[in-house]
Amino acid sequence: MDYFAITSVLVFISALFGYINARFIKLPNTIGLTLITIIFTLAVFALSYFDDTLLRAERFIISSIDFKVVLLDIMLSFLLFAGALHTDLQKLREQGWPVLVFATFGVLVSTFLVGTGVYYLLMLLGLQVEFIYCLLFGALISPTDPIAVLGILKKAGAPKKLEIKIVGESLFNDGVGVVIFLTIFGLASGSGNSFSFHDILELFAVEVFGGLLLGLFLGWLTFRLLKRIDDYNIEVIITLATVMTGTLIATHLHVSAPLAMVVAGLFVGGNKIRKQSMSELTEDYVDKFWELIDILLNTILFVLIGMEILVLDSKPIYVYAGLLAIPLGLICRYLSLIGPVLLFRKRLDFVPNTAVIMTWGGLRGGISIALALGLTEAMERDLFLVITYCIVIFSILVQGLTVEKLIKKLQLK
């Protein structure tokens, strides 16, 4: 089966499950699609006792797709640009310092807290895993997923000040998280013998600041091109070219493509830039085009997350570890947030219970699964993949469904 056929099947499944959700279940797309796909996959498992045709077909599709490459190298740039394009840049600037601290210091602290906690948790369960592999897991699970967060928070009714913190953090912390993951991965895979503190700082600086600078340049160049013409068809294509070409350039320069796309999207989507570079008609078409891209890729992504259950080695001890890691991860996230919240609370007039809402509203998603799939067998890939999957599914289905109720209970609407 070629890539076109596989893509066609995925789009068909996404459309079918999306219709079922919109017509009957009526959950937010992120939650509904994940839930329906998991139920469908479990039903296929049950049916395989009588006829395994569907199971073999589904396994073939999953085995033919490199989830890590598809998400991190292709889909993520489009999704982050679309999300950033519709983020209020003025409000993000007002919350710039806390967002920066959450996305850098917060991810680093969470990485070490989760890694240490999981190390001792696995030891209690009789699983002997090296500490550096647990740190690697801490790095992949700490970033919140902007794709999951953006879709759910729009309907949750969080106060705008709080929403912009969660959205801003999730847009930036995945790029930082990936850099931390790659650094620890280099140390854990044996190349750490040649790593020095200077090398780590250099890698971080090149990846992060290089991505930010590239994003600024791409955003400025896109703005200049849009400003000189008034043809909505061509202008939409220019924004598409920004993402596709920008991702290739970032990959070639070894800088963070996700961060570059976030910055470019925020630059192009800023209110002042929009007024200077786009007519109302162009603005409408650009927004609708990227909303459609966002919905389409989100739909396919969360169908894939539901289907990834087929690649899990679900040993009971792994599942127990995953279930116990859920509250551990939430506690570590809260502890990593409480310092910055206390630091900025009075100066920026934080709403009450900011740390609680950010903990429960900071969802994990496809990025964590993609990074877990990139682990080697020596790094306890199967164990950490099951733990990651447990946390991600709980995050999407339980946290995602109850964020709005929590906000209402705390009377923040």
At 248-292, the pLDDT tens digits run 999 999 898 989 999 999 999 988 899 999 999 999 999 999 989
| Domain residue spans of the chain | 3-63, 67-409
pLDDT at 412 > cutoff 70 = no
Nearest CA-CA partner of 369 in 384, 380, 357, 354 = 384
Task: Give the pLDDT band of residue 360 (cuts 50, 70, 90).
Answer: very high
Residue 121 confidence (pLDDT): 97
**What are the structure tokens assigned to 121, written together?**
């948790």
Residue 180 half-sphere exposure toward CB, CA atoms < 13 A:
28
Give yes or no for residue 375 having a pLDDT over 70. yes
Instruction: Assign 80 to helix, strand or coil.
Output: helix
Query: What number of residues does the chain have?
Result: 413
Q: Are 194 and 243 in contact (CB under 8 A)?
A: no
The predicted pLDDT at position 404 comes to 82
Assign 279 to helix, strand or coil: coil
Pick from 108-117, 186-195, 399-408: least confident: 186-195
Q: Which residues contact 195 (CB under 8 A, 6 or more apart)?
A: 183, 186, 187
Q: What is the model's pLDDT at position 313?
A: 81
pLDDT tens figures, 208-222: 889 999 999 999 999
CB atoms within 10 A of CB 235: 24
Question: Residue 96 has what pLDDT?
Answer: 84
Contact 156, 234 (CB under 8 A): no
Residue 195 has pLDDT above 60, yes or no: no
Q: What is the pTM of this model?
A: 0.90
The mean pLDDT of 371-394, rounded to a whole number, is: 93
End-to-end Cα, the chain, rounded Å: 50
- As a whole number of angstroms, the distance between CA 82 and CA 96 comes to 20
CB burial of 310-334 (b: ≥16 within 10 Å; e: otherwise) equals eebeeeeebebbbebbbebbbebbb
Mean pLDDT, residues 97-110: 91
CB 321 within 8 A of CB 121: yes
Taking CA atoms, 92 is separated from 102, 177, 202, 339, 378, in Å, by 13, 20, 28, 20, 41
Q: Are 74 and 161 in contact (CB under 8 A)?
A: no
Residue type at 394 in one-letter notation:
F
Res 146: pLDDT: 72
Distance of CA 327 to the CA centre of its chain: 20
Q: Are 154 and 361 in contact (CB under 8 A)?
A: no
- In whole angstroms, give the CA distance from residue 198 to residue 64: 39
> At CA 240, angle to CA 237 and CA 244, rounded to 5?
135
Backbone angles phi, psi at 41, to 5 degrees: -65, -40
To the question of domain 67-409 being in CATH 1.20.1530.20, the answer is: yes
Position 194 scores a pLDDT of 55
* Contact present, 137 and 210 (Cβ < 8 Å): no
